[in-house]
Each structure stands twice: as C-alpha cells, then as structure tokens.
Amino acid sequence: MNIVVLTGAGISQESGLSTFRGGGGLWEDHQVDDVSTAKALQKNPDLVYRFFDERRGALDAVEPNLAHMALSKLEWHWREGRKGSFLLITQNVDDLHERAGSAELIHMHGALKSALCPSCGARRPWDGPMVSRPNCSSCGRDWLRPDIVLFEEMPYQLGRIDKALKACSLFVSIGTSGAVYPACDFVRTAKSYAAKTLEINLEASEVSADFDEVRRGYAGALVPEWVEGMIGDLDGGPF
C-alpha cells in the first residue's frame, strides 16, 4: 500500500510552535503582507529576514513530539517490511520531522534551516541569523535569503507530489486548516485516483467534507494511535 501523508502547523503545536490561523496564531502580531509575501521581501527585507531569524532561533527550544515520532516509526516499518512507498509532505518550515527521523520528506514551503540564492538558485543548510544578508558563496552575485516559499511563489516539488498522490492508496492529512492552495487540493487529487482519505485535525478544516474519514483531536494522541493500527503488532525497529 502506497501512503502519502500531508502535515501542517497543527502537528508542531504540541511541541510549542504557533499555528498560523486561529487564537494565538503566528500572524496575530504581524500582517501577512508585511512578512510573508514576495513583495514584502522587496519592500522591507530587514523585517522579513528578522521575522524568519526569530522563527529559526525558536527551533532550538523545541523538540519533536509523539506525532512526529510516530510518522517516522511508520515510515521505518513501511520500508523494512517492503509494504509500499511512503512519502511525507509537510507545509511546515520547522525541522521537527527530520529530527524525529523522517527521511522521505518534502518541505513544500521551504525550510527555516536553509538559505536560498535568488540568482543561481543554490540552496544550502543554514543556522543562526541571516539579517546581515550574506553573499552567495556559489555565484557571489546576490544575497542569500530565507529558503521559504512566500505567497506569490511556487511551492517545491509539485511534480513529484502530484505523481505520489496519483499513485497512493491512502492519503492522510494531519494538522492543517486546508486554507492554502495547492495543499488544500491534495485530498481531491488522491481521491479521484481511488485513494482512501483520512483527516486528523483538532477542528474542522476547510476541506473536511472531502475526506472519507475524519478523526478530531490532538495529533500527539491520534497520530500514534493511527500508526499503531497501521503497523499492528509487528515487532522490531529502532523505537
């Protein structure tokens, strides 16, 4: 069975990272147009760089939670048991999935711990602040910028994602409001290619009605429960 899992900010909420929408959301203190659009980066780069520097800095204080760990465990069992393909797509820019051990992982909205050269397209691992706007060491032509997909920009690896959605038999969405295109359409793509679909989310999302099954509650409890159901009583593994 081929599995595709999509995650959003809700999966990292129990690790202590704010979600975007709703009470206490990340954008309550900021206008989206000021910090998360391609125009903002042109108009007020210092503010945009500082916003992402702060968020990168905040990663040091948080750890993967039980939901991140469970997804990594499921991937391990799927690979070792040759049960089919497993792809994790995250809209999150934190590094909690990789720290939990997930390997087949696409950061479709970029990553805080990565820097991008707008001229040559080089991407490199990045830690610490970027507000001093370091030059690209590959081409020397431009400043490095946060490797984050801003509004008005194209998410990463859409071709690979589309292929995986069309080839999967189970699509699971965890901790996302379904408010942002194109991720909000993934459930419909998977479904139209005959996949079963499951949503795990604290509240109703904008696309809940499109799922075959919906489980409401905290990812930290529901994701491990779902994963245990998937792997049954298989023994072994590093967990």
Return the percent helix, strand and coil in the chain, to nearest 5: 40, 20, 45
Distance between CA atoms of 69 and 239, rounded to whole angstroms?
9
Distance between CA atoms of 65 and 71, rounded to whole angstroms?
10
Question: Among residues 11 and 168, whose Cβ is nearest to ligand OAD?
Answer: 11
Verify binding: residue 52, ligand OAD, rule CB under 6 A.
no
Q: Which residues pair with 213 in a beta bridge?
A: 198
> How many CA atoms, within 13 angstroms, populate the side-chain half-sphere of residue 198?
17
Verify binding: residue 62, ligand OAD, rule CB under 6 A.
no
Figure out which of the listed residues 2, 19, 114, 197 binds ligand OAD, where binding follows CB under 6 A: 19
Considering only 5-13, 54-62, 71-79, 115-123, which stretch makes contact with ligand OAD by CB under 6 A? Answer: 5-13
Asked if 74 contacts 86 with a C-beta cutoff of 8 angstroms, the reply is yes
Verify binding: residue 177, ligand OAD, rule CB under 6 A.
yes
Verify binding: residue 114, ligand OAD, rule CB under 6 A.
no
Verify binding: residue 8, ligand OAD, rule CB under 6 A.
yes
Asked if 158 contacts 149 with a C-beta cutoff of 8 angstroms, the reply is no
Task: Enumerate binding residues for ligand OAD (CB under 6 A).
Answer: 8-10, 13-14, 19-21, 25, 36, 91, 109, 149, 175-177, 179-180, 201-203, 205, 218-219
Could you give the residue numbers annotated as active site?
109
